[in-house]
Amino acid sequence: MPRNPERDQQLREQRKKLLLDSALQVIAKRGIGLTSIQDIAKAAGLSVGNVYTYFSSKDELFSELLRRAQTEYGISVTLLAELDEDPLLKLRRMCAEWLALETNWAFTIILQTVRTNEMVPADIRQAVTDRFTANLEPVADIMRQGQRSGQILNGDPLQLALYFVSLIQGLTLQQAPGYVIPVPVNPDDIVRLFEAKNTHAKNI
């Protein structure tokens, strides 16, 4: 059968996605430090050699996992910021959707590990940091919208965005496998921390 470049590329993308999804699932069960290329290959039903066909190292695989996740998240939050909708509702939706994804704790751990591990090439660490910073801007835009309407606290919108994202990411880490902390997390309570006092008074 003659080679079909388009079909070959499609198969390549499907296998890369399978490996990335499998890596996330393995990390969710074993943790990033205990996850090996062999574990990922086994979870994906592929050989170790197949993994190295697509990724030269575990760091590169984790980097691509983050690149795709950060890019998809950036698109999602940008679309959310552009909606003609109440800014507080946008923050609540963002918080609720992030916390609802059971494997987001693994993304958070990989994010921090790649950024702080000196064994990871500097260009990869910088790219991850740059994407994280860029993805704060749509959240800052939501903060600005809320400030203009008097619903969100005064202050630097970018700082508020960093506080908000860091808070929900930190809470995400509490969802990691192990001993569950028996404290419920309510997105409304989180958003209320960023709500202007006059808005809160109106709601009482």
Burial class (CB in 10 A: 0-12, 13-18, 19+), 150: exposed
Residue 204 has pLDDT above 60, yes or no: no
Taking residue 184's Cβ as centre, other Cβ atoms within 10 Å add up to 6
Q: pLDDT tens-digit profile of 61-106?
A: 988 998 999 999 999 999 999 999 999 999 999 999 999 988 888 8
Q: pLDDT tens-digit profile of 3-39?
A: 677 887 888 899 999 999 999 888 877 877 788 999 9
Which tokens in the block code for residue 25?
């699932």
Give the percent of the chain with pLDDT over 70. 95
pLDDT given for residue 39 in this prediction: 95
For residues 167-173, give the mean pLDDT. 93
pLDDT given for residue 165 in this prediction: 97
pLDDT given for residue 156 in this prediction: 98
Q: Are 118 and 127 in contact (CB under 8 A)?
A: no
Q: pLDDT tens-digit profile of 107-160?
A: 888 888 888 888 788 888 899 999 999 999 999 999 999 999 999 999 999 999
Residue 1 has pLDDT above 60, yes or no: no
Domain annotation for the chain: domains and CATH numbers: 1-55 (1.10.10.60), 59-203 (1.10.357.10)
| Residue from 131, 114, 110 nearest 26 by CA | 110
The mean of the pLDDT values for the chain is: 89
Phi then psi dihedrals of residue 152, to 5 deg:
-115, 145
Cα separation, 60 vs 137, whole angstroms: 26
Q: How confident is the model at residue 43 (pLDDT cuts 50, 70, 90)?
A: very high
Alpha helices for 31-117 (secondary structure H)? 37-44, 48-54, 58-82, 87-100, 104-116
* Residues 6+ away with beta carbon under 8 Å from 130: none
